[in-house]
Structure 1
Amino acid sequence: MSINRVNISGNLTRDPEMRVTGSGTQILSFGVAVNDRRRNPQSGEWEDYPNYVDCVVFGARADPLSRFLSKGMKVAVEGKLRYSSWESKDGQRRSKLEVVVDEVEFLSQRSQQGGGSYQQGAGQPYQQASSFDAPVAAAPAAPQGGYTPAPAPVQAPPAADVYDEDIPF
């Protein structure tokens, strides 16, 4: 048995890039910088070393998510690793390891001033369904005076005629 799950948190290294395949599938790509701490052998001090992780979101979830992500935001990402290899135009073999995103949690939000600065938020999740359909929860609320997205519709569970006496334990 093997498990392929990844949880990372860090800052977006660039604005997300949206593209569409010939069949109409939306693909959102972005990068997340995650720090690793190591002791410097010369000075003995602990130092942060960044790791840059490529992330990708497929399908209908890509467009709404692209409207809320931007360079510098702090996010937590959950997904699975995917390895890709190809031959470049110059004939060299290339490969990469990326995270196929299942869920994104916003750990910071845009400030009222706009620009590229962010404030620490409450960490409101933008959870994704396990299939590549629509988002399960609404994106984080914007600060006062900003754009507030419509909340996701709440679906009632299906009616079930199950009573306590029907449960066998």
Structure 2
Amino acid sequence: MKFIPTPLIGAYTIELEKRGDDRGFFARFFCEQEFAGAGLETRFVQINNSLSSKKGTLRGMHYQLPPAAEVKVVRCVRGGLFDVIVDLRAGSPTFGRWFGAELTAENRTVMYVPRGFAHGFITLTDDTEAFYLVSAFYSPENERGARWNDPAIGIQWPIDPTEQSDKDRTWPDLDPSFHGFELMRGA
């Protein structure tokens, strides 16, 4: 695996190293030794699977406060999506900045989302499916979200959303008391 730093401190895209022959190829999506060697999280408690049937489905921007703050490792296995992360760690040099990358079944790019980051994506094709490793169990009382179009963040989505949950559409503008930035300092 190749761990490629993003402009946001602690976040990476990961390129799978394929070993192939005339039958196809083999590649690791996760290797505890390689993740540990890169200083990344190695303990995951869930593997989540999402399917979005329509192009333009926006999911996010989600995260959890400590003690349930989570690391995510996201890979698109069918179709394509534009994956976005936002650094919400108070005191971070990249606080409030976002980064996005296209994850597709074909490019097999993986997004490593550290604790203290909001995460979301918009689907670029119908029937887009993603798998992601998660380091903490879902905790409803610690769940938070940033609004997908909050002008303070300024995410430049490649397409406009056509499908979205009411909850994701109505997250509040960035507010330190609701979003818990100080709780994620040093997450």
Instruction: State the TM-score bracket (shorter-chain normalisation).
Output: under 0.3
TM-score normalised to the size of structure 1? Answer: 0.26
The one of the two structures with greater contact order (alpha-carbon pairs below 8 A, sep at least 6) is: 2
Higher helix proportion (structure 1 or 2) = 2
Higher strand proportion (structure 1 or 2) = 1
Structure having the higher Rg = 1
TM-score normalised to the size of structure 2? Answer: 0.25
